[in-house]
Chains A and B, each alone.
Chain A
């Protein structure tokens, strides 16, 4: 009885996702035909078969796993720094109008500078260490976190704070901790989610400058220098998939766990 129901459940799930799966299969076939019949140049467009074999070769050499580990460290440094700096500053600016007026011009000048433009100073200040790559990622991740935290705090309904005061929550520290921060949390998490997307995209450029000898971004360029474009595509796909997984972790796990109280508000 149980086996039947789970099989039926699995079949149903496949049926639901069938259009998406079909699209992917069709894209692979189209890519294959286009590469083999039309382009006929492994350099200009490697076909999915070439990419697959390159993937197997890289997997066997064990280089993919060590690259992934190194990139994750860079990413963690950048994102960790962005959280440590972006959230507190966002809170201070969102809660206190004077600090907002004071810091806002500086933020507005720094924010539009593309993260990749910081690469020269990353090298000069931090040399060729993981902190250097992490710094470039940090410059991309910190502003979405800061600004979304700020917006979240500014948007805290005054009535919450007043209700809190009536219930004995009178110290600023407590008001931030028990009222403003939970109220702002959807915005904060949204900012973190955006920041991880931006930060992950900065990873490739950050690792370009020989920061370490491994790393998904670094090896993508390594194989470009050797004109082995099939391996380049392997890294591209890997980077995309990992970015997708990170985003999905946010959507289903983090937002599901911390923001379940919102379900009643939006359909």
Chain B
């Protein structure tokens, strides 16, 4: 009998205290200075700007005058875990594919896309012994790509469907991290991979595959990576958000002019092979571009595709996805 009495008291206490807590996030507090700005990124040349800016100290340089104490970055193998970290409050800024942002926003992520990062830039690589004459050559094969909910997964499945190939029936899609996918095709365990640069060049340079389709052919000018900032940062430090975009643009401009050195910085940070990186920069069909206004339409398109695929439970609106006030055309 005593156990039940204690239990009832515990429940009562729980309910009492539950009623006493403040709802989070709605009371405006005086914005505290940002002690630690955490940026998430993935090891893809799409996001070279982040790496260049970090290694050259530009994040630190440009944001210190705005009260930012320390800037750190964290690498993720692909978008979904990066968005999970942001949703858990571990990231303030994220360089990430547009699709994982949408699935995260649909389940309550407090953040907005404030700028673009790049368009296109992923390749379909197939084994050398596969005679590729068009999408139908892929019937019955297995292709490794980023996990469900990523740009690559979304674009690939959409392209296959439009070419009358049913994903998981005519072509088998397996989601995994880029390193695993590269291992898989090199070991001959999958027939193809669909990954962002520089992974395709890694496979080609090892003599284990050939690039057959650029993602731009599947979906012209499709948005790939975007710059996402937490709702908290937007509300409390809009000036920091503006500067982040500006620093990103500075790094992009420099990367375009100093391709080889940029490749070396990237290779050093991500332990990639410099030759692969340089090769990928010359073969990719992607472009670094930060104007978010031009990507509104493609991203809303993604949202619809994801809704049709059943990845998100309700369609998203432009206001729920974007905050276009920070980008200033230079």
A 15-64 contacts with B by CB, 8 A: 19, 22, 26, 29-30, 33-34, 36-38, 40-44
Query: Across the interface, do B80 and A123 meet the contact criterion of CB distance under 8 Å?
Result: no
Within the complex, which residue of B21, B103, B189 is in contact with A124, where a contact is CB–CB below 8 Å? B189
Within the complex, which residue of A37, A40, A213 is in contact with B168, where a contact is CB–CB below 8 Å? A213
A38 to B20, CA, bound (A): 10
Query: Across the interface, do A120 and B183 meet the contact criterion of CB distance under 8 Å?
Result: yes
Query: Across the interface, do A226 and B11 meet the contact criterion of CB distance under 8 Å?
Result: no
B 1-43 contacts with A by CB, 8 A: 3-4, 7, 10-11, 14-15, 18-19, 21, 23-24
Query: Across the interface, do B187 and A227 meet the contact criterion of CB distance under 8 Å?
Result: no
Closest chain B residue, CB of each to CB of A212: B174
Query: Across the interface, do B24 and A40 meet the contact criterion of CB distance under 8 Å?
Result: yes
Query: Across the interface, do A225 and B174 meet the contact criterion of CB distance under 8 Å?
Result: no
Please tell me the number of chain B residues within 8 Å of chain A, measured between CB atoms: 45
A221 at the interface (CB under 8 A from B): yes
Most buried by A among B4, B107, B180: B107
Query: Across the interface, do A227 and B18 meet the contact criterion of CB distance under 8 Å?
Result: no
A190 at the interface (CB under 8 A from B): no
Query: Across the interface, do B21 and A37 meet the contact criterion of CB distance under 8 Å?
Result: yes
Query: Across the interface, do B87 and A123 meet the contact criterion of CB distance under 8 Å?
Result: no
A227 and B103 in contact (CB under 8 A), knowing A19-B3, A37-B19, A128-B142?
A: yes
Query: Across the interface, do A221 and B147 meet the contact criterion of CB distance under 8 Å?
Result: yes
A123 and B183 in contact (CB under 8 A), knowing A40-B23, A210-B176, A213-B168?
A: yes
A126 to B297, CA, bound (A): 43
A226 and B311 in contact (CB under 8 A), knowing A123-B187, A128-B184?
A: yes
Closest chain A residue, CB of each to CB of B145: A210
Within the complex, which residue of A26, A36, A40, A123 is in contact with B11, where a contact is CB–CB below 8 Å? A26
**Least Cβ–Cβ distance between A151 and chain B, in angstroms:** 38
Query: Across the interface, do B88 and A124 meet the contact criterion of CB distance under 8 Å?
Result: no
A127 at the interface (CB under 8 A from B): yes
A213 and B172 in contact (CB under 8 A), knowing A37-B19, A123-B189?
A: yes
B149 at the interface (CB under 8 A from A): yes
Query: Across the interface, do B80 and A30 meet the contact criterion of CB distance under 8 Å?
Result: no
A156 to B163, CA, bound (A): 67
A127 to B103, CA, bound (A): 29
Residues of B near any A CB (own CB < 8 A): 3-4, 7, 10-11, 14-15, 18-19, 21, 23-24, 80-81, 83-84, 87-88, 100, 103-104, 106-109, 142, 144, 147-150, 168, 172, 174-176, 180, 183-184, 187-190, 311-312
List, sorted by A's number, 30 A–B pairs whose CB atoms are closer than 8 Å: A22-B7, A29-B11, A30-B11, A30-B14, A33-B14, A37-B18, A37-B19, A37-B21, A38-B21, A41-B108, A42-B107, A43-B108, A44-B88, A123-B183, A123-B184, A123-B189, A124-B183, A127-B184, A128-B190, A209-B176, A209-B180, A210-B174, A213-B174, A225-B100, A225-B103, A225-B149, A226-B107, A227-B84, A227-B109, A228-B107
